[in-house]
């Protein structure tokens, strides 16, 4: 490795870019980095212990909760609670947000929203999963308990966001609004090294990612966009290729590196789509935009949607800017 830079060093080097107090973001990211390593260790040996499979319970969204969903949720919350920067956490796995009210949180200024384990239906079959996180300044005064309004902020208010992909290698990718940088975990050292500086999503690509099994439920705009992706047109490199892992983080990460579009539309089965605005769509939208890409609900910018509830779902179109523009064109034309 020539000139290795660790995630810890990088965060400290760049903390001057952060508009608030020096060190706060570094502390916060170090909680996330630590929890990510612990979760990574558990995922890597998942087949060996008693951590595969379902808990037998459903989460607030009525979805099957996997043991690793619960484990990851606990790890991230524990790591964030152990330091003083965060006054509360909203998690996909918990019905309500959690308020941190110990002495060390009496001056905490941030809230975190998290999908602790994304793609959990893929765990038992050894396919990549992820974590997605989003960080906001609280809007209520420090020293008081965090309130719902601290969590229901539009995505354009995020101060940082990122994801971890537990793949063939484990990567942590984040932004503070000054571009996107990716770090790969060296598991023998337990250290993340800068491997993908200044990540950029290609303006266009030839990958489309959507669960086509739901085709009959899709709106006409999406059906026609899919047809467009499949048509022969040499100058625009069509037909595109179809890739769908079923782990949003992994599908997004691939499209970010190679150029592509990911779509989870609304359907007759799921009137607002499946993905959650606060835990999944906003953080990835922030990263996409910071990497020169785009994220939309088919008609408007994801990050400008004013959230109304914690577990709100939203149709999601994200990836290469020209591809998302084209999909929006179809949505408007056929709506
Ligand atoms: P989660 O595991 O956090 O509930 O998220 C699953 C999401 C996302 O990762 C993935 O892209 C999508 O669900 C897949 O849904 P379908 O199986 O309906 O395609
Ligand atoms: Mn998810
Ligand atoms: Mn999840």
228-266 confidence digits (pLDDT tens): 999 999 999 999 999 999 999 999 999 999 999 999 999
Last residue of some domain: 196, 228, 248?
A: 196
Cα-to-centroid distance, 114 and ligand 2 (Å):
9
CA distance 276 to 261: 18
Q: Pick the last residue of a domain from 196, 215, 233.
A: 196
Ligand nearest to the CA of 280: 2
Residue 2 lies in a domain: no
Which protein residue has the closest C-alpha to ligand 1 atom 19? 211
Distance from Cα 275 to the centre of ligand 1, integer Å: 7
Look at residues 176, 196, 216 and tell me which one is the last residue of a structural domain. 196
CA of residue 224 to ligand 2 center, whole Å: 26
| CA 110 distance to own-chain centroid | 18
Q: Confirm whether 1 is domain-assigned.
A: no
Q: Which residue has the tokens 């965090």?
A: 146
Q: The domain spanning residue 133 has which CATH number?
A: 3.30.540.10
196 Cβ neighbours under 8 A, 6+ residues apart: 171, 173, 181, 182, 183, 184
One domain for residues 186 and 225: no
Expressed in angstroms and rounded, the spacing between residue 69 Cα and the centre of ligand 3 is 6
Give distance in angstroms: CA of 121 to centre of ligand 1: 8
- Write the CA distances from 144 to 95, 147, 238, integer angstroms: 21, 9, 55
Atom 2 of ligand 1, residue of closest alpha carbon: 119
Q: Which residues contact 155 (CB under 8 A, 6 or more apart)?
A: 134, 277, 281, 282, 283, 285, 286, 302, 303, 304, 305
| Judgement on whether residues 115 and 231 belong to the same structural domain of the protein | no
Q: Kindly report the protein residue whose alpha carbon is nearest to atom 17 of ligand 1.
A: 246
Instruction: Pick the residue whose CA is nearest to atom 3 on ligand 1.
Output: 118
Tell me whether residue 69 is in a domain. Answer: yes
Give 64-70's long-range contacts (Cβ < 8 A, gap of 24+).
64/121, 65/93, 66/117, 66/120, 66/121, 66/123, 66/124, 68/39, 68/42, 68/43, 68/117, 68/120, 68/123, 68/129, 69/93, 69/116, 69/117, 69/120
Note the residue count of the chain.
335
- Indicate if 167 and 235 belong to the same structural domain: no
Residues 34, 172 within the same domain? yes
Q: Are 96 and 152 in a shared domain?
A: yes
Choose the residue to mutate in 246, 260, 278, 311 for probing ligand 1, maximizing ligand atoms within 8 Å of C-beta: 246
Q: Do residue 182 and residue 275 come from a single domain? A: no
Within a domain: residue 268? Answer: yes
Q: Quick one: pLDDT at residue 214? A: 96
Give me the CATH number covering residue 261.
3.40.190.80
- The number of the ligand nearest the C-alpha atom of 279 reads 2
pLDDT digit string, tens, across residues 142-186: 999 999 999 999 999 999 999 999 999 999 999 999 999 999 999
Ligand 1 site: residues with CB under 6 angstroms? 63, 92, 115, 118-120, 211, 246-248, 274
pLDDT for 182: 98
> How far apart are the CA of 92 and the centre of ligand 3, in A?
6
Q: Nearest ligand, CA of residue 120?
A: 1
Alpha-carbon separation of residue 190 from 3, 83, 118, 123, 127 (angstroms): 18, 21, 22, 22, 21
Could you tell me if 108 and 100 are in contact, meaning their C-beta atoms sit under 8 angstroms apart?
yes
Q: Say if 114 falls within a structural domain.
A: yes
Q: Does residue 3 carry a pLDDT above 80?
A: no
Q: Work out the number of other CB atoms within 10 angstroms of the CB of residue 20.
A: 12
Q: At what angle do helices 321-333 and 220-230 cross, to 10 degrees?
A: 130
In a domain, 165, yes or no: yes
Q: Do 163 and 232 sit in the same domain of this protein?
A: no
Q: Which atom of ligand 1 is nearest to the CA of 280?
A: 3
Asked whether residue 59 falls in the same domain as residue 170, the answer is: yes
What's the rounded mean pLDDT across residues 301-329? 98
Helix (H, G, I), strand (E, B) or coil at 284: helix
What pLDDT is attached to residue 49?
66
Q: Which pTM value belongs to this model?
A: 0.96
Considering the domain boundaries, does residue 275 fall inside one? yes
d(CA 328, CA 118): 26
Question: Domain range holding 77?
Answer: 7-196
Total structural domains in the chain?
2
Answer yes or no: are the C-beta atoms of 170 and 182 closer than 8 Å: no
Residue 117 CA, closest ligand 1 atom number:
3
Mutate which of 255, 275, 277, 313 for ligand 1 pocket (most atoms within 8 A of beta carbon): 275
pLDDT, tens only, 261-293: 999 999 888 899 999 999 999 999 999 999 999
Residue 247 CA to ligand 1 centre (angstroms): 6
b/e code 3-19 from CB counts within 10 Å (16+ = b): eebbbeebbbeebeebe
Indicate whether 147 and 227 sit together in one domain. Answer: no
Reported as a pLDDT band with limits 50, 70 and 90, residue 308 is very high
pLDDT at residue number 139: 98
267 and 150 in a common domain: no
What is the whole-number distance in angstroms between the Cα of residue 245 and the centre of ligand 1? 9
Same domain, residue pair 179 and 294: no
Q: Give ∠ CA 295-297-298 in degrees, rounded to 5.
A: 100
Residue with the smallest CA separation from ligand 1 atom 8 is 248
Query: Do residue 158 and residue 287 come from a single domain?
Result: no
Helix (H) or strand (E) holding 326, with range, is: helix 321-333
Judge whether 202 lies within some domain. Answer: no
Instruction: Give the number of the atom of ligand 1 that is nearest the alpha carbon of residue 63.
Output: 4
């Amino acid at each position: 490795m020539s000139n290795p830079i660790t995630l810890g060093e990088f965060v400290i080097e760049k903390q001057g870019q952060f508009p608030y107090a020096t060190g706060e973001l570094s502390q916060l990211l170090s909680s996330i980095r630590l929890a990510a390593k612990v979760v990574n260790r558990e995922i890597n040996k998942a087949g060996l212990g008693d951590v595969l499979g379902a808990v037998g319970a459903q989460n607030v969204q009525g979805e099957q909760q996997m043991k690793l969903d619960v484990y990851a949720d606990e790890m991230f919350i524990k790591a964030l609670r152990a330091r003083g920067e965060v006054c509360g956490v909203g998690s996909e796995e918990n019905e309500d947000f959690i308020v941190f009210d110990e002495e060390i949180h009496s001056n905490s200024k941030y809230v975190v929203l998290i999908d602790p384990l994304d793609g959990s239906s893929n765990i038992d079959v050894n396919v990549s999963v992820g974590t997605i996180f989003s960080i906001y300044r609280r809007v209520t005064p420090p020293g008081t308990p965090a309130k719902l309004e601290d969590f229901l902020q539009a995505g354009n208010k995020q101060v940082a966001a990122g994801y971890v992909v537990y793949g063939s290698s484990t990567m942590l990718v984040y932004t503070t609004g000054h571009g996107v940088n990716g770090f790969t975990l060296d598991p023998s050292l337990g250290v993340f090294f800068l491997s993908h500086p200044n990540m950029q999503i290609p303006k266009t690509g030839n990958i489309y990612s959507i669960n086509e099994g739901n085709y009959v439920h899709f709106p006409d705009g999406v059906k026609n966009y899919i047809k467009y992706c499949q048509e022969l047109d040499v100058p625009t490199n069509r037909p595109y290729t179809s890739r769908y892992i079923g782990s949003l983080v992994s599908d997004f990460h691939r499209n970010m590196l190679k150029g592509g579009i990911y779509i989870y539309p609304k359907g007759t089965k799921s009137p607002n789509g499946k993905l959650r605005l606060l835990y999944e769509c906003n953080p990835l939208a922030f990263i996409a935009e910071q990497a020169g890409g785009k994220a939309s609900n088919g008609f408007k910018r994801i990050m400008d949607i004013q959230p109304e509830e914690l577990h709100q779902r939203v149709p999601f179109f994200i990836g290469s800017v020209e591809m998302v523009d084209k999909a929006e064109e179809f949505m408007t034309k056929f709506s």
